[in-house]
Chain A
Amino acid sequence: MGFRTVAQWARSEEEGRSWQSFFRKVPPSAATIAGQWFDYSTAAGVPVPNYYASSPLVAQRLEAANGIFVPAQNTDRWLKKATVMSAAAGVTSTTNQNQPLMLLDYLLYVPFIDLDAAGEEQVFDTTVGLDRYTDGVGVQMMVVTQAPTAGGGSYQIKYIDDTDTERTTAVVYCPAAQPSGTLCSAVANAAGISPFVPLNAGVKGVKSLVSMTVSVANGGLAAIVLVKPLQMSYAREECRRPTSSPTESYGEAAEIERIRQYAGSVKVESGAFLGWIGKGVAGSLASAPLVGWLETFWE
């Protein structure tokens, strides 16, 4: 089912079928490189940090309660509004400005892949599979560092696509040295950083993971995370107020409202683990809190 009218949508507020979920995520102090994506789910704050900590190379799901908390319901839940603000790391810091953000449903991950194991196919235990978006359509792979890297490496991933066909990605390049929590995929050596690993031609999504083979050692550890992108946002100006001249205030709140600004809405599946990734277009996202809230409603 889905809602059919604006009135039905608006009544959810008066009838108590809505919830505001607040978040405040503070990336660690290690600098991220310009153009690099960062996985805010790994950052400290509210909700608690997600370390992708479980048995190496064994697929595992994340618990919804550890993501941005949206109460479980017996009926379908929908995204109503998202508001984000990016606070600067310091009163003169500007590198978190013009930051594209993406709200994801984190579905499944395989942790502790050795990015130094060049030439070795690291095969995954995928006994645990997807429990939502089970046909794999729209499901993307992102590679999240779990330890600082040296950079300059490359790898290929084997996966099962939405037609149950085993595929091998083209060679994926690793960006220059990165701290933990950053996304480690680029379409050219140390450049063209992409949040998601490019899929093969004609593939609509990823159903399960098979293995990763590191071609050139990169240093560090990583998790491959299967995610479903739900919505983009864009924090244009960093939030800060310098303490010396010019003592002007800077900052804005980026608000995305479904229906009025975007057609339709996005369903929040039962068990969804929600989190954001952001791209440091202007430089490092270190110590720059991402703050805001999601408004959801249920039928």
Chain B
Amino acid sequence: MGWTSQDALIDDVSNNGQFQYDVRFKTISTAQVAAFWTNLGVFNGSEPASTYAGTSLTFVPTDDTWADGAWQHGGDVSTMTKHFLYAGANIVAAAGAPWVLMAVDQVGYVPITGTDVTGTSGRTITMTPIAATSAKVDRYPNGVGLRAFFSTEVAPTAGGPNLTSFTYTNVAGTTGKACPVTVGMAATPVIGAVPHSGGAATRYAPFLPLAAGDTGIKDLEAFTLSGGTAYTGTGQLVLHLVKPLFSIPLPASGIHQVAEFINALPNMARILDGACLQWILMNTGATTANAPLMAESAHAWG
């Protein structure tokens, strides 16, 4: 399904009620660091702050019924398809601009706690590989288009190791595929921060690079935080598995920037049944504590 003409889209939006407008909020309650990306899921707003609960190193699937709070985008519409028509956002903060706001569909996450944060040996992740069934966790068949990134739920005390190994199964089912570069992690990433972002060498963000030719991640297999300085303290990291949907540039505090998806190419990012919509943010400067984010969007299905 989908639309074959703008007339069909207009008819569904204006006559058939297949349209939803949303306004979402987040308060970035902890000051962020210049050049870092931030997972806004850790902050309160329209959806409550997530604690990313679960057993360390065990994958937790997420969809629009996620108890921590997911954006309610109108439920399942299959065999129709649901698409973003436009989205806009602004942030008001004394510092931090310009920003880039990215919407992602989080398929799941892996909590990482205790010695799995501080340890320097390989850590194996328990996860049922993404398949191609009608289950919500398989909404991107075999993981096509999925990307991974770490974020900080509780800041480690100190450290700054390297991610010397990150392995996954690709969409074709080939196991043991590896991130082709060594990735540096920040010493004390603040809550929300993507620890492999920032302005230092060997930082890659927001997503971990995949091996040449790979189009997604079917299974998160293992990672090793070694070299550099091992993390200390009682930090908690989260490894997210997401599909990037769209990005909005936010030039300055208080400027509401709207991205239009009908005429732009590639257009109208799809919201799959079960999509768990989340936000991540790139901070050019150090975003001030308690900065409010307001985002609006409209989507339709047909």
Interface residues of A (CB under 8 A from B): 6, 9-10, 12-17, 20, 22, 24, 26, 44-46, 48, 65, 69, 71-75, 80, 83, 85, 87, 237, 239-241, 243, 249-253, 255, 257, 259-260, 289, 291-293
Contact = CB atoms under 8 A, between A and B. Distances in A.
From B203, B213, B266, name the one whose CB has the most chain A CB atoms within 10 angstroms: B266
B80 interface: no
A260 B265 contact: yes
Given A16-B144, A46-B199, A241-B253, A69 B209 contact: yes
Given A14-B145, A72-B180, A241 B254 contact: yes
From A20, A71, A250, A255, name the one whose CB has the most chain B CB atoms within 10 angstroms: A71
B230 to A, nearest CB: 23
A293 B209 contact: no
B253 A291 contact: no
Contacts of B209: 69, 71
A87 B285 contact: yes
A291 B98 contact: yes
Given A16-B216, A24-B35, A257-B265, A71 B252 contact: no
From B206, B263, B284, name the one whose CB has the most chain A CB atoms within 10 angstroms: B284
The 10 residue pairs across chains A and B that have the minimum distance between CB atoms? A251-B251, A16-B215, A253-B249, A16-B145, A251-B252, A10-B266, A85-B98, A239-B251, A249-B252, A16-B216
Contacts of B210: 71
Contacts of B244: 20
Given A17-B215, A46-B35, A24 B199 contact: yes
B129 to A, nearest CB: 16
A15 B215 contact: yes
Contacts of B1: none
Interface of B: 35, 94, 97-98, 100, 102, 144-146, 171, 180-181, 197-201, 203-206, 209-210, 212-213, 215-216, 244, 247, 249, 251-255, 257, 263-267, 269-270, 282, 284-285
B186 to A, nearest CB: 13
Contacts of A22: 100, 205-206, 282
A43 B157 CA distance: 30
B204 to A, nearest CB: 6
Contact of B213 (A14, A75, A250): A75
Given A15-B144, A65-B181, A74 B213 contact: yes
Given A9-B266, A20-B244, A87 B284 contact: yes
Given A15-B215, A16-B146, A46-B203, A251 B98 contact: yes
8 contacts: A45-B199, A48-B201, A87-B98, A250-B251, A251-B252, A253-B98, A257-B264, A291-B282
B205 A249 contact: no
Given A85-B251, A241-B252, A255-B249, 4 more contacts: A9-B266, A14-B270, A87-B284, A87-B285
B266 A240 contact: no
Nearest to A12: B266
B265 A249 contact: no
A251 B255 contact: yes
B5 to A, nearest CB: 15
Given A13-B266, A291-B100, A253 B251 contact: yes
A249 B249 contact: no
Nearest to B266: A10
A20 B201 CA distance: 19
B35 A87 contact: no
A289 B94 CA distance: 17
A210 B36 CA distance: 43
A24 B254 CA distance: 21
Contact of A15 (B145, B206, B253, B254): B145
A293 B252 contact: no
Contacts of B181: 65
Contacts of B145: 13-16
Nearest to A45: B199
Contacts of A26: 199
Nearest to B210: A71
A59 B107 CA distance: 47
Contacts of B203: 46
A14 B2 CA distance: 14
Contacts of B100: 22, 83, 291-293
